[in-house]
Amino acid sequence: MSTTPPCRNAACAIAATPTTSSADWMKSARGRVEDFKRLQELGLISQGGDFFPSVHYPPITMYPLMQQEELFKTYTLPATV
């Protein structure tokens, strides 16, 4: 079983063969770069270098640091019925 991850570009298959020329390696490398860029365009790989794992918006990691008092300073209890 190959440890090379699959890619959509046929040039990647060249890297798996033991007797390849440098031109074949370059073709394969370009295919991998194309795959990388495609995944970036799809939003699966960060384009800016920073990764924010998020299921919320804005991501939890982007909220500024604050104390509990600051967080709840404008909170009011809901009216009772």
Q: Which position has the higher pLDDT, 5 or 57?
A: 57
Q: What is the mean pLDDT of residues 9-36?
A: 77
Per domain, the residue ranges of the chain are 10-72
Indicate whether this model's pTM tops 0.85. no
Q: What is the mean pLDDT of residues 50-79?
A: 79
Q: Judging by beta carbons within 10 Å of its beta carbon (0-12, 13-18, 19+), is residue 28 exposed, middle or buried?
A: buried
- What torsion, rounded to 10 degrees, do the Cα atoms 14, 7, 49, 60 define? -160
> Tokens in use for 44?
């699966």
- On average, the pLDDT of the chain sits at 76
Give the Å distances, CA to CA, from 38 to 8, 14, 30, 52, 76.
10, 20, 12, 19, 47
Average pLDDT over residues 2-31: 69
